Every structure is written in structure tokens, then in C-alpha cells.
Structure 1
Amino acid sequence: MNGGLSRRALIGWMAGAGAGAIVRPAAAAGFPEHAVRIVVPYSVGVGPDVVARSVAERLERRWSQPVIVDNKPGASGIVAFADLRRTPPDGHTLYLADTATLAVNPLLHDNLPYDVQRDLVPLTLLFRATFVLLVGGTSRHRSVAELLAAARAKPGAVSYASLGHGHASQVAIETFARAADVRPLHVPFKDAGALFTAVASGDVDFTAFSVNTTAGLLASGRLRALAVAAKQRLVTHPELPTLAEAGGPPVEMHPWAALVARSGTPPPLLDQLQRDVVAALGSTDVVSRAELAGFEVTPSTPQALRERIEADRALVAPLVAEGRVAKG
């Protein structure tokens, strides 16, 4: 859904999907038999966790069983999947997975506790974010064109901040840098607060995150947005040019999240899970909470999720091959 749907059309489409599920015969009689767990590779209170809890609330009402969000942050999502292979394939444990866990980690790590093709079954995309290119409020780089000119004039002199090797912020920026044929210096951070402080002070030249993540810093003038990494301008910030309009390559930066199940889960149950989650995504409260967190709800078929994973793997593979994103 690169172009996206209007909010009204999105809710209408998903409500229809949910209605369709109601009139169809039950795909898995008796499910769920007990509490369902959604493992989330993020800390409590951050955007993806907020949306996951909103979806869980809707599923609880639909299933009349508890739906528990189990937060297991760490190691770009790897911690959340540590016990995957010991989990029964009965639909009672689901996983929120993202660009890193499904598309990036398999290219960077040789000993993951999961294999995307063998151990996981896609259900649906959940949501996506749109990144903007950010510099410090007093940065000498007044535009994307100026930033790229400085990076080309002296390779390695311009630096960028990310939340670590393989993080969505690094992958997005290196995709942008590769398309622009520049090699900025990567400065990884473990903490978002320290990262934004470094960019705001000018210790690091730029970064890429969603507008909502940095709203307070943008409003205070400590950070300044140069461009949005999308085909079209943001409805909420129409003053921001796209990367292409600002003198950069026409790159899109849309980190996403999805819901997956354990391989071996019976197909009728997978069908029910997909329909029920899509119906939950269509509720106005889920859409509203997602928007407040800076996300666009993007329900999909399992096949569309498979294609998204493969497309992103194809995008990341040359970054790894060229040493822009390091293995291990």
C-alpha cells in the first residue's frame, strides 16, 4: 500500500473484511481454548507496543479470551524469538515482527534462533512508519542537496546516527546514501535520547526517524526536518518536501511491522487469525492510536507480506555485500 488509503476508506475496507469473516463458517472451532500471547520485541509504552496492545484489546472482545502482550525487547528482535521453536503451532502464541526481524537479521546473523522461511508463517502487515531526514536545529546543512554536497566533497566527513547496526534507521539511511552514491560515517547509539542530543548539538550531522518520534524536538527547534522519504508529502506536514523534491534520490523509507505465527499452524486456523486481526485493525480506536504513534495501518494478505519481506531483503542484500551494513 505505497499510496495508502484514506482513513475512511481504510476503516470501511477492513470493516468489510471483518464482516465477511463473521458470515463465513468458523475456520477453527474452539479457538482460542485459552489465553493468546502476542510477543512484542519492543519495550512497554513505545509506539509498536501501543498498537499491539490496542489490537490485543479488540481480539479479546472478539475471542472472549485474554490476549496478553509479552514484551521481549533486545538485539533487534532476536530476544523475542529465542523460544520460538519450543512454541506449539496452535495459534496461541503470535509474534509481532518487523523489518529487522524478517528482512534484515537473516542477512546479518548466521546463528539466529529462528529461520524466517522454515519457522514462521506470515499473517498480515500491521502498520508502517514514514521516516524524515533530520539535522540539528543550527546545522549548517540547510537542505538535502547541501548535505549531499558536503558528503561528496569529503567522504566520511558527514556523519549519521542510528540505533545500532541493522536497525531500521541505519538500513534506511544507508539505502538513501547508496542511492545518492555517498559514504557517510555511521555513529551507532544504544539510546534514542543520546542519539537525538548528539544530532541536536551537531556532534553528528543527521539521522532519520518518524516525525511523531521527534515531534517535541522539532517543535522546540532542536531538530530540523529536511525532507520526507516518501513518494508524496505528509498530509500532517505538507511543508516538508520529498527527498526527490529536495535534491536527493527518490528513496522511500517505510519501516513496518507485521504479525506472524509458528509454522505448522493448521491452515484453517491461519485463515481465521488473519481475518480476525484484519478486522481488529479496522476498528477506529486501533487506527487512531496508530496514527497518534506516527503509524499508518496497513493490513494485507499473507502473500503481500511475503512479497514485502522478499522486496526488503533484496534491498538490504547489496548494503551488506558492500559493507554499508556490517554482518554479525
Structure 2
Amino acid sequence: MKYDRRTVLKLLCSTTAVVTLPELAYAQEFPARPIQIIVPLPPGGSNDVLARLLGQKMSEAFGQPVVVENRPGAAGNIATNDLAKSKPDGYTIAIAPNQTVAVNPVLYPDLPYDVLKDIQGISMLGRVPMVLVDSPSVSAASVSELIALAKSRPAELTYASAGSGSPQHMAAEVFQSMTGVTLTHIPYKGSVPALVDVVAGRVDMMFCPLNSALPHIGSGKLRALGTTGLKRVELLPDVPTIGETVPGFESDIWIGMVAPAKTPSSVINKLNAELRKALDLPDVRKTLAEQGIMSESSTAADFNKLIADDQKRWAAVVKDAKIKP
């Protein structure tokens, strides 16, 4: 790419220029071919919905195809490793739920990559509130009643999760730590079989992603006790947050977009700008809200800080609760 003399002089003399000429040229050319978004989980869930919806908007903005590829397995570690080992050029990026970039690095000590060194954030994409639900057969219709019941019957009440280290499991560990109750963990290989057994009454309760729980709450098969975010959820306005009973409690699922480390900052900034623009579109916000996803964007720097801070937070939880994969 060529620059006229005046443009070159302005760039060389500017005290605010933060990119080199080659990087500027790369950013102007990017993307010149299709972009791939890796999703570390199977099709159909919140991560997949975000990837496909935002991928479509990015394709329209960039004039290039955006291909979504699901690579589930090993709790998301396979896809995250693939991303970390990809060429840092912006053409391979990945969906990153907090489990893969904040929990797994402290849960699995022998991962072949270091998230904080090998991966960098592009932007936050959204949060998926969880809701604490129990079977109607359990004699607790509120968080305070559940705490009282659990304290009267230590380790007798059971809760389901999508597996050790899953967001559901981690939320339950934080809940136990902050309330002093003892519950019995029943891990499953995924959210679907876990939810099935709670609905059937074979397990007492579950911290469940909102979008999965809503149909069963509406039908009366599950009872909503409290949501896990800092604010009440619009889809369940009458259900209090758990924090209203247990001050300071918060354990949402958050999801972002990441790239390999050393991806040029100009490319990260370009991807960030398009993602944030897409997340501000009314139709995107509406579609995500209907799926129980609260859209939320950030700068790349703020997302990197969130990943690092959450790793520290969950490291303490894993250590205190002696959680093993």
C-alpha cells in the first residue's frame, strides 16, 4: 500500500500516533479473506447464538464471509488450545466463556497454553444470568428458606451441575461458602441431563442458565428462587437476585471474543469496533435478550483485565473447595 508524502510526514511527526506504518497498512487491508470464529461448545447454546449472530453482522460490515466452527470437547480446552496456537493475524478468533479462559486455567494445572500469555481479549459480548431453581417437591420457596432448610439438613440436599468446574458448579460453591450451608454435588456430562433430573425431582436444585430454565419455570415444573447477577433480570422481574438475600453474591456466566496473542493491535481495534457496533444494534439486543443473553461490550483492555481478575477469583474458590476436574 502506498502513502503520499504529506500522509507519511503527518504520521512521522504526530505525537499521538500509536501504530506503525506497516501495521496501519495491515489494518486498512484487514480483512482481505474469510474470518473463522471457533466456538468451544456444541451448536445451539448461548455461545453458538452469539457467534452466529455477530458473525453475520461482521460479515455484512467487512464484506467477507465469517465462518463459525464448533469444536466442543475437554470442557472447551481443545478449542482454546487451537485458538492459542493459531496464526495471530485476526483471521482466527474464538468465543470465550468465562469457563474456558478464567476457570479452566486454574482448574487444569497442565494445560498446553497460558491464557494470559497466549491469548488476548477483543471484547466482552454478553452475560448469561443463571437462576437458582429447585423442584416443587423441596420445601423451600425462597433463598432464605433454602438456606434454613440446608442448615437443618447438612449435606442432604443435592444440586446438579454440568460437571466439575462448570459455571453451575462454581456458583454453587460460592453460594455454600457465603452462606455456610453444605450441599451434595451431583455432576453430569452437560447441562441438559442435569436439568432433566432436576425437573424430574431426582435432584433437588440447580444453578441453571436462564434460557434453559425459563420454559420449566413457566410450566411450573421448576421454582425460581433467585438470579445470580447484580441486577434483576427483565425476563423474571419478580424474582429477586440472590444478592438481595446474600449480600455480595454474584456468579453470572460471561462470554467474550478472543484472539491469539500478538495479533496486531490495529486489527484487535478494528474487530472490537465492529463487535461493539453490532452489539448496539436494536435487533441484535432484542434477539439476544430473547435467548436470555444480556448484551455487553467492552474495550479490549477492560476484557483482558476481567479475564485476569476472574482467574484470581476462581483460583481462590477452587483451592478453598478443593475442586478437581
Q: Name the TM-score class by shorter chain.
A: 0.7 to 0.9
Match of 1:320 among 312, 318, 321: 318
What CA distance in whole angstroms lies between the structure 2 residues aligned with 1:118 and 1:74?
Answer: 22
**1:90-138 deviation per Cα after TM superposition (whole angstroms, max 9, x unaligned):** 1100011111111101101122232111111111100101111100123
Counterpart for residue 68 of structure 1: 67
Does the Cα contact within 8 Å between 1:38 and 1:70 map onto a contact in 2?
Answer: yes
Match of 1:311 among 292, 298, 309: 309
Counterpart for residue 137 of structure 1: 136
Q: How does 1:1-328 map to 2 (within 5 A)?
A: 28-245=27-244, 247-324=245-322, 326-328=323-325
User: Which stretches of structure 1, 4 residues or more, deviate above 4 A after TM superposition?
Assistant: none
What CA distance in whole angstroms lies between the structure 1 residues aligned with 2:258 and 2:83?
Answer: 11
Q: Report the Cα offset of residue 280 of structure 1.
A: 1.9
What CA distance in whole angstroms lies between the structure 1 residues aligned with 2:241 and 2:275?
Answer: 32
> Which structure is richer in relative contact order (CA contacts within 8 A, separation 6 or more)?
1
**1:168-194 deviation per Cα after TM superposition (whole angstroms, max 9, x unaligned):** 111111111111122211100114332
What CA distance in whole angstroms lies between the structure 2 residues aligned with 1:29 and 1:120?
Answer: 23
Structure 2 letter corresponding to 1:309: I
What CA distance in whole angstroms lies between the structure 2 residues aligned with 1:207 and 1:192?
Answer: 10
Q: Report the Cα offset of residue 48 of structure 1.
A: 1.8
Does the Cα contact within 8 Å between 1:34 and 1:65 map onto a contact in 2?
Answer: yes
Structure 2 letter corresponding to 1:38: I
Q: TM-score scaled by structure 1?
A: 0.86
Q: Report the Cα offset of residue 57 of structure 1.
A: 0.6
Q: RMSD over aligned Cα, in angstroms? A: 1.8
What CA distance in whole angstroms lies between the structure 2 residues aligned with 1:85 and 1:251?
Answer: 32
Structure 1 letter corresponding to 2:67: I
Does the Cα contact within 8 Å between 2:126 and 2:255 map onto a contact in 1?
Answer: yes
What CA distance in whole angstroms lies between the structure 1 residues aligned with 2:25 and 2:135?
Answer: 54
Does the Cα contact within 8 Å between 1:78 and 1:113 map onto a contact in 2?
Answer: no
Structure 2 letter corresponding to 1:91: G
Tell me the number of residue pairs that the alignment of Structure 1 and Structure 2 aligns. 302
Structure 2 letter corresponding to 1:46: G
Identity %: 33
What CA distance in whole angstroms lies between the structure 1 residues aligned with 2:25 and 2:225?
Answer: 50
Which stretches in structure 1 are left out of the alignment for 5+ residues? 1-24
What CA distance in whole angstroms lies between the structure 2 residues aligned with 1:149 and 1:298?
Answer: 35
Pair 236,216 (structure 1): closer, same or farther in 2 beyond 3 Å: closer
Q: Report the Cα offset of residue 310 of structure 1.
A: 2.6
Pair 105,244 (structure 1): closer, same or farther in 2 beyond 3 Å: closer
What CA distance in whole angstroms lies between the structure 2 residues aligned with 1:58 and 1:124?
Answer: 15
What CA distance in whole angstroms lies between the structure 1 residues aligned with 2:130 and 2:313?
Answer: 16
Give SS of 1:82's match: helix
Pair 120,258 (structure 1): closer, same or farther in 2 beyond 3 Å: same
**1:240-280 deviation per Cα after TM superposition (whole angstroms, max 9, x unaligned):** 122244x4344122110111111111121121121122112
Give SS of 2:267's match: helix
Does the Cα contact within 8 Å between 2:128 and 2:210 map onto a contact in 1?
Answer: no
Does the Cα contact within 8 Å between 1:161 and 1:187 map onto a contact in 2?
Answer: yes
Structure 2 letter corresponding to 1:240: V
**1:252-309 deviation per Cα after TM superposition (whole angstroms, max 9, x unaligned):** 2211011111111112112112112211222223212211110111100112112222
